[in-house]
Structure 1
Amino acid sequence: MSVFRGLYPPLITPFHADGKINEKGLRDHIDYMIDGGVDGFCAGSSTGEFMNLTREEWETVLHITKDQVAGRVPMLAGGAGMSTAETIERSQYAEKMGYDGLLVISPWYQVHTQREVYAHFKALREAVHVPIMIYNNPPVTGIQLGVELLERLANDGIIQYMKDADSDPYTIARLKMRVGDKIEFFYGHDNNAMGAFAYGATGWVSGTANFDPHRWSKFVHTCIDDNDYTLAKDLWYEILPFVEIATVGQNGERADWIAIIKRGLEMRGKDVGTVRPPMLPVTKDVEEKLQGIVSNLFAEEVAAALA
């Protein structure tokens, strides 16, 4: 059984100008990420715009990803569905394809009780054999997975990993104190990663890592392998401008994070296209700020892309 540790970016889904999946763009992006030092992938999840894909397209993304990765790194599949039955069916599909684990957020829209969430993941555990990474993301689901619930899921062997997308990683510390090494912790937001590693996280599911996997990977392993938080702080302030623009929105709204990641890659000469509606491309003011950030990090690349 694979042990997941390190940088596991949730892959973007490149699109052509007509909105169709860009298979070559996805294959090229996977190679770019592996060459950049990522430890694994999450495919068909939210950064990959699974919510904007048809079921057939979601399957296509999983097939392309598995084929292109070709066993070079472990792979997680986003198995989330609106119902328990759909979640099980999607997860079983990914398991049969050979994915090493599942990244699963609790059902959204209906704000479920802790009791319902436990039953949901218990049913999933009984239906699949690969490790489950539970995904805590209160802004999306409308529910904070409580420490008591997560402790029970860990102690009962239902989950093996946790991705915590709460910007405050205190939940990781509280749960680590209770369950020790029964599960492994991944930080799932981008704006407080160093704090999460200091609390005991050993991995990062970072959407912004799609933009610059080499720099992001170096930061992660400086924290979790070298335990060198002095160097990590210097690396953090290198990547923070991009992290901030991708995670901190304006006027109380969420940031256009996927559009920003994709546009940042386009500025570096990577053919990944833009987002699908109802999401929109970046605004003019964000474009200008992003241009400055990307230029500071990759001056030569940007000049070549604009030439």
Structure 2
Amino acid sequence: MTSAWRGVFPAATTQFQADQSLDIKATMRHLDRMIEAGVHGMIMLGTVGENCSLEYAEKLEVLKATVEHVGGRVPVLSGVAEYTTKLASRFAADAQKAGVDGLMVLPAMVYKADPREAVTHFRTVAKASDLPIMVYNNPVTYGVDLKPEMMADLADEPKLVAIKESSEDVRRITDLKNVCGSRYTLFCGVDDLVLESLMLGATGWISGLVNAFPAENRLLWDLAASGRWEEAVAVYRWYMPLLHLDTHVKLVQYIKLAVQECGLGTESVRAPRLTLVGDERERVLAVIRKGIADRPKPGKTA
């Protein structure tokens, strides 16, 4: 199985009403704004989409609405983040029925699997659907590190086509290339390491801040993809304080506050997350508002 996935894929927010119920219409409006800015694909129900805060039926509601609304304009992938391998397999099958184009599969939540257990989890989930799979490696947040040697072990599973690499160690891109060759499409999953990752061979970017700055994300991607590195670095330096918001434990609240400040949605989150208050809120707002004030003008780099 092969995949043509490349480019900027937002880890899209799930929008909520003030009472924390799903706001499907607002979620779809937000997707439209990002698609209109030129993103290349969409990841629903990732970390930024608050996957683990949604009920099982709500997740499928979001996916069905997204598939219908996007209507094939870009590929739609669904995060698969469940507590057991059995439940992850069930959700993978149900996501296929909902019509998504692929899956972004995480290790089982909470339990810190050893390498043998983690490999077995991905092999099992891969058998549960016919969809291509992006393997999501984020040991910083989820405590399971899918090292290059493990991905080489999984290379005989044809449905595993891509890796979202979020170890925060940019050397992993080179290590994956050296160990696995061109077997997998590599995506950077850490916003403030994207330019380094692209220079080393990643051909995709799963981004959080694109939710608030879709045009600027596309600008940075286009400059890097065309080898205009000096201009790309200039945009990257402008963007970096905002991109740092993606690597904090409260990245969902930070990104959603940026989305609200940019007029693309609301900051509402679902408990146990709470919207920001006090000094923390003012500090994050200062970063966001400076980014908005200094953002690259259309047709120009920073």
TM superposition score normalised by structure 2? 0.92
Where structure 2 has 5 or more consecutive residues not aligned to the other structure, the ranges are: 296-302
Q: 1:212 to 1:43 in 2, by over 3 A?
A: same
SS of alignment partner, residue 135 of structure 1: strand
Would the aligned equivalents of 1:185 and 1:202 in 2 still touch at CA under 8 Å?
yes
Whether 1:276 aligns to 2:274 is no
1:169 Cα deviation (Å)? 1.7
Q: Please give the alpha-carbon distance, in whole angstroms, between the structure 2 residues aligned to 1:160 and 1:271.
A: 32
Q: Please give the alpha-carbon distance, in whole angstroms, between the structure 1 residues aligned to 2:294 and 2:18.
A: 26
1:193 Cα deviation (Å)? 1.0
1:140 Cα deviation (Å)? 2.6
* CA deviation vs aligned residue, 1:243-262 (integer Å, no higher than 9, x gap): 123424xxxxx3x2111111
Q: Please give the alpha-carbon distance, in whole angstroms, between the structure 2 residues aligned to 1:294 and 1:139.
A: 24
SS of alignment partner, residue 191 of structure 1: helix
Q: Which residue of 2 aligns with 1:152?
A: 153
Would the aligned equivalents of 2:3 and 2:161 in 1 still touch at CA under 8 Å?
no
Would the aligned equivalents of 2:10 and 2:206 in 1 still touch at CA under 8 Å?
yes
> Percent of counterpart pairs with the same letter?
30
1:239 Cα deviation (Å)? 1.1
Q: Which residue of 2 aligns with 1:261?
A: 255
For 1:181, give the aligned amino acid: S
1:214 Cα deviation (Å)? 1.0
Q: Please give the alpha-carbon distance, in whole angstroms, between the structure 2 residues aligned to 1:296 and 1:110.
A: 40
1:81 Cα deviation (Å)? 1.7
Q: Which residue of 2 aligns with 1:178?
A: 179
Question: Runs of 4+ in structure 1 displaced over 6 angstroms?
Answer: none
1:268 Cα deviation (Å)? 2.3
For 2:244, give the aligned amino acid: E
Q: Please give the alpha-carbon distance, in whole angstroms, between the structure 2 residues aligned to 1:148 and 1:24.
A: 43
1:155 Cα deviation (Å)? 4.4
Whether 1:236 aligns to 2:236 is yes
SS of alignment partner, residue 10 of structure 2: coil
1:158 Cα deviation (Å)? 4.9
Aligned mate of 1:298, from 289, 292, 302: 292
Write the mapping of 1:24-173 to structure 2, written as runs, cut at 5 A: 24-173=25-174
Would the aligned equivalents of 1:76 and 1:103 in 2 still touch at CA under 8 Å?
yes
Q: 1:269 to 1:141 in 2, by over 3 A?
A: closer
Q: Please give the alpha-carbon distance, in whole angstroms, between the structure 1 residues aligned to 2:158 and 2:292.
A: 45
Q: 1:49 to 1:193 in 2, by over 3 A?
A: same
Q: Please give the alpha-carbon distance, in whole angstroms, between the structure 2 residues aligned to 1:159 and 1:235.
A: 33
TM superposition score normalised by structure 1? 0.90
Q: Please give the alpha-carbon distance, in whole angstroms, between the structure 1 residues aligned to 2:44 and 2:245.
A: 24
For 1:4, give the aligned amino acid: W
SS of alignment partner, residue 78 of structure 2: strand
Q: 1:80 to 1:291 in 2, by over 3 A?
A: closer
* CA deviation vs aligned residue, 1:126-153 (integer Å, no higher than 9, x gap): 2222211001111232121122101121
